[in-house]
A and B are shown apart, each in its own frame.
Chain A
Amino acid sequence: MTQAEIKLCSLLLQEHFGEIVEKIGVHLIRTGSQPLRVIAHDTGTSLDQVKKALCVLIQHNLVIYQVHKRGVVEYEAQCSRVLRMLRYPRYIYTAKTLYSDTGELIVEELLLNGKMTMSAVVKKVADRLTETMEDGKTMDYAEVSNTFVRLADTHFVQRCPWVPATENSDPGPPPPAPILVISEKDMYLVPKLSLIGKGKRRRSSDEDAAGEPKAKRPKYGTDNKEPIPDDGIYWQANLDRFHQHFRDQAIVSAVANRMDQTSSEVVRTMLRMSEITTPSTDPFTQPLSSNEIFRSLPVGYNISKQVLDQYLTLLADDPLEFVGKSGDSGGGMYVINLHKALGSLATATLESVVQERFGSRCARIFRLVLQKKHLEQKQVEDFAMIPAKEAKDMLYKMLSGNFISLQEIPKTPDHAPSRTFYLYTVNILSAARMLLHRCYKSIANLIERRQFETKENKRLLEKSQRVEAIIASMQATGAEEVQLQEIEEMITAPERQQLETLKRNVNKLDASEIQVDETIFLLESYIESTMKRQ
């Protein structure tokens, strides 16, 4: 794990779970797999707190445990999973676009809690939806359950591994840690529950379901006295499926930008058909015949078979090679080159970065070297039609930025510099890694800056919150306009200005984080796909 990744993980853990969890988590990421007492000793925290922190981290799938010999249990942190916390808003928004508010809330609850049973999710989501509805209307559990089942069917949520039920004839002592297993076919199996009920409003005058007085703090998960029907069956959000969806989205929008709407629809159809048949890590989708594609086109699209064939041929001939032709049966068999598509997207990202950082002439040289693979200094000047001095300068700027690298080809075995060719080349994989590392650093910087801005204005923020609370309570009890005005004037105009500026800055920083995360996704997908092929 690079320093930049560790720093980013540390900031994310601290923002979401507090300092103690951050300390334990970062220690585990740095040192790898460790048993409980070593963690407590090395970090200098009490055993009790380490246990609490580990429970939280395990609940959120950020730490896994393994039983080693002699019964020692070791805990290991998943750094890449911690980095996914940046992407939570995107997951939730995707669920909203696909399954509307109910799906959005289901995914949000699952992400916030790590793992939950289906009944708990349904209950919570129904309650939350009921809050937002008008008075008198409530959300039925059945509807939420239906959405949950649909999410499970399309693999957006999956079951967590669980303890297999062993017979009690086991005479020996139980293992120090349960071994969790899951089989492929059980992963999306929804238990047969009959959840009947409606969502409840928190503001309603009746007491809690368990009849406890309101003053007592409700304990999570033990509200009702009846046994939970699906006890022990936990669900989690399937991040890989979301990533597959993002990848498909990126490919479709790339095709739409390059060609037109119809071709992007064709590609979208092909991807949709391959969703279940092709695992997301394959370099190609399964071949699809043109007839199948024609039948599966969305209902609104009435293009004729011939037009579809023309589109497919165009797509297959495109130099970007998103779509390839793999055979002629069934009217032509077509595949989508997932690996090449990801490569093109990563390359486009690199080109765009070079252009925005160094200028369009640099970008021209970069694209040239990309295309021709290896070029000498002189050839670069000739092909790019840029004067020698400037070309030199640009090449060296890109070289020191690690976008371009030098390849030495010696003429003599003693590698004499005067008798060696020096060729400029672009190594996409290493440039992508360099850019990814830079993205991690950028996000860490953005988060730090946001925290700094918030801390600077902490006093002002607290004051404005208090004023808002006062105004809200006064409005509830019915107050005159004059009094409200007076309270509002407690915040002076320059302070208001300051608050506005702060809000604008924080929004900008947050939006930047989200956008950098999109780039991270593309680069990571490309690197992962390339590493799988090697």
Chain B
Amino acid sequence: MAGSQGRGRAAYTFNIEAVGFGRGEKLPDVVLKPPPLFPDTDYKPVPLKAGEGEDYMLALKQELRETMKRMPYYIETPEEKQDIERYSKRYMKVYKEEWIPDWRRLPREMMPRKKCKKAGPKSEKVKDMGKGASLTNTADVLKKIEELEKRGDGEKSDEENEEKEGGKEKSQEGDEEDDAAAEQEEYDEEEQEEENDYINSYFEDGDDFGADSDDNMDEATY
């Protein structure tokens, strides 16, 4: 067996000389806590490089930071509505250009679907009310389901027409029966049907109401 049995005496199982401590020498203290968060350094850091190139890059960096915030790629988080609308906010809004990506290069599911937008504000409204509301009128509900079915068919034909006209983004010609689209349509209709157990006479501004339906203003309020 390696090492010597010390019979209760403190003895090392290896040759302490090899690691560099002499016999009987005081060993360094045992560390009982993690190192400090901001340790003192004996040596101060070297000063930064300074020169024309570095100054220019610094200015560039700060400019780029500001420019990025104004580009259309910077998506701002929608703020909650404040109780008092501040006058200054109106004048500090930055006018951004709209950016439309090249849909030919992106997967088809990226396109915001028109009927999703139609359903968008509706399902947003409904979501806002919360899922806890119970239906009070079964007749109401049945009416809604009928409405939905009719609208579902109407939307399908709407989409067909729209896609036939808009030849740029979709190269398909009038053939709508691909699985992905059908699946998505079905899923969305289910979503709508589920949500429509609730009273629709409420109209509450969802957070994304403006953002969703900015180019679909023929949507009537229900």
Q: CB within 8 Å of B: which residues of A?
A: 15-21, 36, 46-49, 51-56, 58-60, 65, 67, 71, 73, 88-90, 92-93, 96-97, 108, 112-114, 162-163, 168, 173-174, 176-178, 180, 217-222, 232, 234, 356-359, 376-378, 388, 391-392, 395, 414, 416-422, 506-508, 510-515
Identify 9 residue pairs between A and B in the complex whose beta-carbon atoms are under 8 Å apart, listed by A's number. A17-B73, A20-B75, A47-B116, A173-B172, A178-B105, A357-B41, A388-B20, A391-B20, A419-B15
**A52 contact set on B, CB distance < 8 A:** 75
What residues of A have a CB within 8 angstroms of the CB of B99 in the complex?
A: 220-221
Q: Are A508 and B48 in contact (CB under 8 A)?
A: yes
- List 9 other contacts, CB 8 Å, given A174-B172, A511-B49: A51-B110, A65-B107, A168-B171, A178-B105, A219-B97, A221-B99, A420-B14, A510-B62, A513-B61
Which listed residue, B20, B42, B104, B175, touches A178 by the CB 8 Å rule?
A: B104
**B175 contacts across to A, CB distance below 8 A:** 173
Stretch at the interface among B50-58, B133-141, B194-202: B50-58
Residues 135-154 of B contacting A (Cβ, < 8 Å): none
Closest beta carbon of chain A to B156's beta carbon, Å: 16
Whether B74 pairs with A220 at a CB distance below 8 angstroms is no
Which residues of the partner chain A approach B170 to less than 8 Å between Cβ atoms?
A: 174
What does the 1/0 interface line of B63-95 toward A look like (CB < 8 Å)? Answer: 011011001111111000000000000000001
> Would B77 and A510 count as touching, CB distance under 8 A?
no
Contact between chains at A112 and B64 (CB < 8 Å) = yes
What's the Cα separation between A514 and B57 when bound, in Å?
A: 8
Q: Please give me the 10 A-B residue pairs with the lowest Cβ-Cβ distance, nearest first.
A: A417-B14, A177-B107, A416-B2, A173-B178, A418-B15, A89-B60, A89-B57, A377-B20, A73-B107, A89-B61
Given A89-B60, A92-B60, A417-B2, the answer on whether A217 and B98 have CB atoms closer than 8 Å is yes
B190 part of interface (Cβ distance < 8 Å): no
Give the residue of B19, B57, B65, B104 whose beta carbon is less than 8 angstroms from that of A163.
B104
Could you tell me the dominant secondary structure of chain B's interface residues? loop
User: Do B74 and A357 touch across chains, with their CB atoms under 8 A apart?
Assistant: no
Contact among B53, B57, B75 for A21, CB-based, below 8 A = B75
| A90 contacts B20, C-beta separation under 8 Å | no
Complex Cα–Cα for A168 and B65 (A): 45
Contact of B56 among A19, A93, A416 (CB under 8 A): A93
Residue from B62, B97, B178 in contact with A220 in the complex, judged by beta carbons closer than 8 Å: B97
Q: Does B68 contact A16, Cβ atoms closer than 8 Å?
A: yes
Residue of A at shortest CB range from B59? A89
Please name all residues of chain B whose beta carbon is closer than 8 Å to the beta carbon of A55 when the two chains form the complex: 101, 106, 110
Counting chain B residues whose Cβ lies within 8 A of the other chain, the interface size class is 35 or more
**CB pair B48 A512 closer than 8 Å:** yes
Q: Name the residue on A nearest B99 (C-beta).
A: A220
Interface 1/0s, chain B 1-27, versus A by CB < 8 A?
A: 011000000000111001111000000
Mark B residues whose CB is within 8 Å of A.
2-3, 13-15, 18-21, 41-43, 45-46, 48-49, 53-54, 56-58, 60-62, 64-65, 67-68, 71-77, 95, 97-102, 104-110, 112, 116, 120, 170-172, 175, 177-180, 208, 211-212
Do B97 and A217 have beta carbons less than 8 Å apart? yes
State whether A54 and B110 are in contact (beta carbons under 8 Å apart), knowing that A59-B101, A357-B43, A377-B18 are contacts in the complex. Answer: yes
Q: When chains A and B are docked, how far (Å) is the Cα of A374 from the Cα of B95?
A: 64
A359: B residues at CB distance < 8 A: 42-43
Q: Select the residue from B18, B67, B178, B211 with max chain A CB neighbours within 10 A.
A: B18
A177 to B170, CA, bound (A): 11
Cβ–Cβ < 8 Å partners of B107 in chain A: 65, 67, 73, 176-178
Cβ distance A272 to chain B, nearest Cβ, rounded Å:
20
Q: Known interface pairs A112-B64, A178-B104, A232-B102. Does A511 touch B58 (Cβ–Cβ under 8 Å)?
A: yes
Are A418 and B105 in contact, with the CB atoms below 8 A? no
Contact assessment for A18 and B77 in the assembled complex, using a CB-CB cutoff below 8 Å: yes
Q: How far is the CA of A51 from the CA of B208 in the complex (A)?
A: 14
Q: How far is the CA of A49 from the CA of B48 in the complex (A)?
A: 41
Point out the residue from A21, A46, A58, A174 that lies within 8 Å of B106, measured CB to CB: A58
Q: Which residues of A contact B57 (CB under 8 A)?
A: 89-90, 93, 514
Residue in contact with B13 in the complex, picked from A46, A392, A417, A421, CB distance below 8 Å:
A417
Q: How far is the CA of A216 from the CA of B97 in the complex (A)?
A: 10
Return chain B residues, CB-CB under 8 Å to A414. 2
Most A Cβ at <10 Å: residue of B49, B68, B116 = B68
Q: Provide the bound-state CA to CA distance between A162 and B95, in Å.
A: 32
Q: In the complex, A163→B171 CA distance in Å?
A: 12
Which residue of chain B lies nearest to A376 when distances are taken between CB atoms in the complex? B18
